[in-house]
A and B are shown apart, each in its own frame.
Chain A
Amino acid sequence: MRALVRWHLFWPCLTLALLIALNAVVNPGFLAFEWRDGHLYGNLVDILNRAAPLALVATGMTLVIAARGLDISVGAVVAISAAVAAVMIGGSLSLGDAEAVSRFPMWLAILAALAIALACGLWNGALVVGVGMQPIIATLILMVAGRGVAQLVTGGQIITIYYPPYAYLGNGFLAGLPFAAVLAAAVIALTQLLLSRTPLGLYVRAIGINPVAARIAGIRAKPITLALYGFCGLLAGVAGLIVSSNVRSADANNAGQLLELDAILAVTLGGTALTGGRFSLVGTALGALIIQTLTTTIYSLGVPPEVNLVFKAALIFIVMLLQSPEFRAGIVRLARQPGA
């Protein structure tokens, strides 16, 4: 039992299980699955699908935070990537012609959107590594300017995507499962594999625990940190594609709004230390699922969805305080001398 509680994924797993149990009690059909037209349907599948963009962004964020960084521009990068893809695919509603055409081939649009997202990430990384800015400020610049850039790309309009194949990214199914969820799972699994099978994971930890010591120990901290920011931008780009495909449009103002905060929350819930070093990608994925399940729960309980923000804030406070050694020491002291 003790070993179980000590397991780093114990708390996220328990939280998720409790949330799902709460849903199952309130809504008996919650856990049901249905196989229809060769696709799997059900509330849990829906949660997986909806959590995919957040899980992807949070995965990139985990690595950046693990190396003592932070990227608050991911929401803006989501908007930019969605805007680029939407503008390049474009297409107008042609009623007679069911085979709507895209302005550029879809693969080119996707590649361009991802390339620009990667460039955004590398720009952040260059500011942090090259110029030596504090991560929050370096990424604040893109957070402020990024939505302006996205609006520049879309011309201030909400661009609707009429090209049917593009909808597959956010709404399609692969082997009966939602494509977005499969994609997110694959990315997380590959990243995890890359980090655990190569020394890269160790390097990231070392940079997070002590950047100076890591450099002196011969770890090429700068290129690695730069690559992590680039990776984070790239994943935000993928999330942007999924989000825009899901709603078949790109809204420069609202796509990915507050996503950076949700991503940080997912990372924190997953047990990654915000001070760097200790991280868990699986934990982050669980964190993203917790946030999405919480959202679904709030809807299904009939609580006004606006309360969601307060719930999230309460979660952040609890996790944050539990991570603080001072707070835990205070609790221990209270427990030892009751009434004192």
Chain B
Amino acid sequence: MNTAAVRILGLDRRLVPLAATLALFIGLVVYGAVSYDAFLSPQVFLNLAIDNSFLCIVAIGMTFVILTGGIDLSVGSVLALTTMAAAALSKLGWSPWILVPLLLAGGSAFGAIQGFLIHRYRLQPFIVTLAGMFVARGLCYLIDTASIPISAPFFVAMAEARIPVGGGNSLSSGAVIAMITVAVALWLAHSTRFGRTVYAIGGNAKSATLMGLPVGSALVRVYAFSGGCAALAGLVMSVYMLSGYSLHAVGLELDAIAAVVIGGTLLTGGIGYVAGTVVGVLILGIIQTLVIFNGTLSSWWTRIVIGILLFLFCVAQRLIEARAGQKR
């Protein structure tokens, strides 16, 4: 998109990636609507929200981490560990009133430790969270290598709960939790001191420190938030699958990163929007829906298309950065 077009549309330059993402999503929906008769039914879109609720929650945590210029590879494993712990502990008869806060606190603590190591000892986020991924996945296997079914009344009730949205359509509890998470994240990113600090760190961590911003505590909190999101997503997945399994969500961190990037967040940090990530998640979801609707395409096309999209968006990001560099 050239500068003139941007001016005509009245867009802030920072909003260009978000606009491109939104255009892509609408394009995919139009393509689906033209190709398949049943595509435009409301339940297709509600299912998009239901089936991608845990990815959405994880991707939101990841957005904050990437906004600081970091990365969190441990989220998929933390999610799996949460499902395992939820399954194992609810089997022992733990009350959900203790279990849920405990698991959320556990995920946040896991993230906070990673954040502390990254900040205090200047370790690379990539390596620290990679090791965190090993730890969480290993702990899953230690609990049990087999899948544990969940039959606790609380989880079953949550799984059966349907929130009607009119016209005979409904949402799952997980989708509602994802939406609440999005709302909280939007507020955190755009209306709090914490959010501004996150953007400042991603823009330039040194400047942020010199400005007197609490860089260290913000970094720890960002990773804690990501870990907490992963744990919340784990609870949502426990409800969705009604089982805990150490192989749940293998590779989910990659999907989450892809959603964040496709959502227009720069991997170098500082620029990006929570709303963009939500659209990114929806794009990944709709690609999957299109592949399912097609019927003849095999599931691996989803991964290839996601890879191609990731490539296109990264190249576009580089072009935007290069132009920004010239202007400076």
Q: B97-141 toward A: CB 8 Å interface, digit per residue (1/0)? A: 000000000000000000001001111101110111111011101
Distance A34 CA – B303 CA, assembled complex (angstroms): 47
B261–A137 touching, CB < 8 Å: yes
In the assembled complex, the CB of B119 is this many whole angstroms from the nearest CB of chain A, namely 10
Pick the most buried of B127, B141, B145: most chain A CB atoms within 10 A of its CB.
B127
Which residue of the partner chain B has the closest CB to A305? B141
Whether A151 sits at the interface, judged by CB under 8 Å, is: yes
B254–A144 touching, CB < 8 Å: yes
B306–A144 touching, CB < 8 Å: yes
In the assembled complex, the CB of B75 is this many whole angstroms from the nearest CB of chain A, namely 14
In the assembled complex, the CB of B84 is this many whole angstroms from the nearest CB of chain A, namely 12
Whether A31 sits at the interface, judged by CB under 8 Å, is: no
Whether A269 sits at the interface, judged by CB under 8 Å, is: no
B304–A148 touching, CB < 8 Å: yes
Interface magnitude class on chain B: 35 or more
Residue of A127, A132, A309 near B138 (CB, 8 A) is A309
Whether A261 sits at the interface, judged by CB under 8 Å, is: yes
Distance A316 CA – B298 CA, assembled complex (angstroms): 37
B310–A320 touching, CB < 8 Å: no
For B126, list chain A residues within 8 Å (CB).
70, 136
Pick the most buried of B130, B300, B322: most chain A CB atoms within 10 A of its CB.
B300
Whether A327 sits at the interface, judged by CB under 8 Å, is: yes
In the assembled complex, the CB of A324 is this many whole angstroms from the nearest CB of chain B, namely 4
In the assembled complex, the CB of B238 is this many whole angstroms from the nearest CB of chain A, namely 20
Distance A156 CA – B311 CA, assembled complex (angstroms): 23
B128–A312 touching, CB < 8 Å: no
> Known interface pairs A132-B322, A140-B254, A152-B300. Does A309 touch B121 (Cβ–Cβ under 8 Å)?
no
A133–B134 touching, CB < 8 Å: no
Distance A320 CA – B124 CA, assembled complex (angstroms): 9
Distance A274 CA – B132 CA, assembled complex (angstroms): 17
Distance A311 CA – B139 CA, assembled complex (angstroms): 11
Chain A 197-235 interface residues, beta-carbon cutoff 8 Å to B: none
Residue of A145, A268, A325 near B307 (CB, 8 A) is A145
- Name A residues whose Cβ lies closer than 8 Å to a Cβ of B: 70, 127, 131-134, 136-138, 140-149, 151-152, 156, 252, 261, 264, 268, 274-275, 304, 306-313, 316-317, 320-321, 324-327
What are 5 A-B pairs at a CB distance below 8 A? A131-B314, A144-B310, A151-B303, A275-B124, A317-B131
